[in-house]
Amino acid sequence: MADLLDGLSVEELKRRLVEAEETLRAISEGDADAVVVRAANQDAVFALAGGDDSYRAIMEAMDTGAIALDAQERLLYANAAFCTLLGCAATELEKKGLFACLDPASAATVRETIAQAAKGRHQTQFVQAHRDGMRHLVVTAAPLLLAFGNGSALTFTDVTARVQAQAAEESARIGRAVMASANEAVIVCDRDSRVINANAAVAGIIDTDPIGKRFEDAFPLDFPIGSAIMHPDDLVALANDGHAVKGLEASANFTDPPKDLLVSVAPLRLAGEQIGGCVITLIDLTERKAIEKRQALLMRELDHRVKNTLAMVLSISGRTIAGSADLADFRTRFTSRIQALAATHDLLVDASWGGLNLPTVIQTELAPYVSSTGPRLLLRNMDRSVSPDVGIAFGLVVHELATNAVKYGALSRESGIVTVEGCLRDDRLFEVVWSESGGPPVAEPSHRGFGQTLIARSLKRGGNTGASITFAPDGVVCRMILPIEG
C-alpha cells in the first residue's frame, strides 16, 4: 500500500480518503449497486445488487417475517412483514430488541427454539398477543454465519387463519356429533326458515324427511293461547332477530297419535356473531304429560279416599263408643278396628291402589290368630280382586268376623276351623261364604252390636251386593256378595 501512495500529493490523498468514506457509506446504507476495485492488471467488479441487497429486497417482499440476531441476541435485521406480525413499528423494535417486544411466554419459546437450532434447523409454534387479537405463529430458527461471529436467522409464519379454520372444523364436527347423539330432536334452519339439518331423533316425531322444507310446513305446531307465539314461523323470526325462546309447550296434532312437545329456539351464530338461522329443539312430553295427568288423577282420588277414610274413622269411633261398656273397652275395640283399617290400607299402598286380592286381605286380618298355611284356615276358590273401596270394607268385615271368632266362635278353641269359600255368581258379582266349625255352640246375641251393623252395611254397593250373618248352632256363617274386577 505504501508503494501505491508514493508520489501522491496531500490533496490527492484527501480526495481519495473522501471517496473511500463515501463508498463505505453507500455500501453500508445499500445505495451502491457495485464496487469497482482497480488493480495493476485489470479492474475487479463486485456486484452488491446481486448479493446482499437482492437478498434484502426479497426479504422485504416476503409475507413471512424474517429477522437476524447476533450471538448476543442483538437485532441485526428485521423485515417489514415481521413488524406487521408483531404489531410494532421498526423503530420500536430496533430500540427495544426482539425479546422485549414479545410476551414472556413467547420470548421463552423463541429462545428455546434458537437453542435447539444449534443442532440444526428447528421449528416451534406459539401464541403471541397482538392488538387485533391472539396470533398463532410458527418460528423457524437456523444458525447464521456472520463475518464477525455466529448468529441466528429466524422466520415467523402467521398460521392463525389455519388454526382458526381447524378449530372451526373441529367445533363443527363436535356439534354434529352432539346433534347426532342428542335424545331430543334438533333441527337447524337457515334465515329463510328452511330446514338444513336434522338429527336422528326427529324421526321419533315425524316419519318424513324435513330437510329442504320450511319449518312451519314440516312441523305445523299448535301453540297455546297467550304464549305470544301464534305460528311456527314466529319462532324463526325471533331467532333471526337474536332472541331465544326456551321451554314453550306446543301440540303436534299432525302426528298419529298427537304429541305434546316442549319447544326451544336459539339463534345460530356464525363467525363475527352473524346470525345465519336458528337451532330448534323439540322434546316429546307425551309420556310425561300422561304421567302428570295420572298423578293429578291419583291426587284427586287420594283426596277423595282420605275424606272417606276420615268419615269411616269417625263412624267407627261413634259406633264403638255407643257399644262399649267403659273407656278401656272402647280403647280396645276402637284400636283394633283402626289397626284393621290400617292393615288394609297398607295392602292398597303395596298394590299402588290398583285393587285388592281377597285371599291377601283375609290372611292379613287373621294373621294375629292363625297361620295362613295352617289347618285352621281354609281358603277355597278365592283368587279374585276387588276395587279399593270394596277391599277396605271387606277388610273391616273380615276383622269383625275374626274378632268374634276369637272371642266366642271357632277360633276360641284349638279344634276350631274357619273356611272361606268363593263362588262366581255372574260376570260381575262374587259370593264369599265365611263359615265356622269346631267351636263352641253358637246362640244369636240378645242385642245387635256395632260389629253386626258394620257387616250388614259395609259391603252394600247397590243391586244384590251386601252381607248377611247367621248364627247357626254349629258356627257362624256370613254370606257376602261383592262386585269384582276380574
Q: Where are the domains of the chain?
A: 9-47, 63-158, 170-284, 315-483
Compute the mean pLDDT over every residue in the chain, rounded to the nearest whole number. Answer: 80
pLDDT of residue 38: 44
The yes-or-no verdict on residue 204 having pLDDT over 80 is: yes
Q: Which long-range contacts (CB under 8 A, 24 or more apart) does 32-41 make?
A: none
What is the rounded CA–CA span in Å between residue 430 and residue 486? 10
What is the rounded CA–CA span in Å between residue 367 and residue 361? 10
472 CB-near residues (< 8 Å, 6+ apart): 442
The pLDDT tens digits of the residues spanning 244-273 come to 888 888 888 888 888 888 898 999 887 667
Q: Is the dihedral of CA 321, 325, 331, 334 positive or negative?
A: negative
Residue 34: pLDDT band with limits 50, 70, 90: very low
Identify whether the C-beta of residue 67 lies closer than 8 Å to the C-beta of residue 86.
no
| Cell numbers describing residue 227 | 304464549
Nearest Cα neighbor of 360 from 348, 375, 374 is 348
Identify whether the C-beta of residue 67 lies closer than 8 Å to the C-beta of residue 79.
yes
The yes-or-no verdict on residue 62 having pLDDT over 70 is: no
CATH among 3.40.50.720, 3.30.70.2740, 3.30.450.20, 3.40.1000.10 for 170-284? 3.30.450.20
> What is the second-level CATH architecture of the domain 63-158?
2-Layer Sandwich (3.30)
The yes-or-no verdict on residue 86 having pLDDT over 60 is: yes
> Which range (21-35, 111-125, 185-199, 333-347) has the least confidence?
21-35
The yes-or-no verdict on residue 61 having pLDDT over 50 is: yes
pLDDT of residue 37: 43
The pLDDT tens digits of the residues spanning 370-411 come to 887 778 899 999 998 888 888 888 888 898 898 889 888 999
Q: CATH homologous superfamily of domain 315-483? A: Histidine kinase-like ATPase, C-terminal domain (3.30.565.10)
What is the rounded CA–CA span in Å between residue 455 and residue 459? 7
Where is pLDDT greater, at 176 or 8?
176
The yes-or-no verdict on residue 479 having pLDDT over 90 is: yes
Question: Which amino acid is present at 180?
Answer: A
Assess whether the region 63-158 and the region 170-284 belong to the same CATH fold. yes
Q: Could you count the other beta carbons within 10 Å of the beta carbon of residue 301?
A: 12
